[in-house]
Amino acid sequence: MNAKAKRGIAKNDRRTAEGRTDWARIDALTDEDIERMAAEDAENPATSAADWVHAVVTGTPEKTVVNAKFDRDVVDWFKSQGRGYQARMNAVLRTYMQASRRSG
C-alpha cells in the first residue's frame, strides 16, 4: 500500500490494512466482477423490491454527551462483546424507549 493510500486509513487500522489482503487483486476487480461475485454469494442472497416494501429510511439521531453511571458488571459485559459497546448500549435503551412508547 502506498503512502497516499495509507493517509486514508486511521493509524490504528493500518496493521489490518497491511495484513494479508491482496490489495492489487482487489484494485483490479471491475464492477462486473464485483456484481458477479455478489450474485454467487450464497450467504448473502440478493433482495427484491418486495423485500423492501415496508422499509423505512431514517436519519441518524443527533447525539448528545451525557455523564452517566452504570453498574460495572453491565459495562464490562457490553465491553466484552467487542468494539461499539456504547452504540449497543444505546440500541438497548432505544428499544426500551420505543417499547415503552407503544405500551403507553
Q: How many CB atoms lie within 10 A of CB 79?
A: 14
Closest CA to 37 of 25, 21, 49, 48: 25
The string of pLDDT tens digits covering residues 56-67 is 888 888 999 999
What pTM was computed for the model?
A: 0.46
Judge whether 89 and 80 are in contact, CB under 8 Å: no
What element of type H or E holds 77? helix 72-80
The string of pLDDT tens digits covering residues 37-81 is 998 999 988 888 999 999 988 888 899 999 999 999 999 999 999
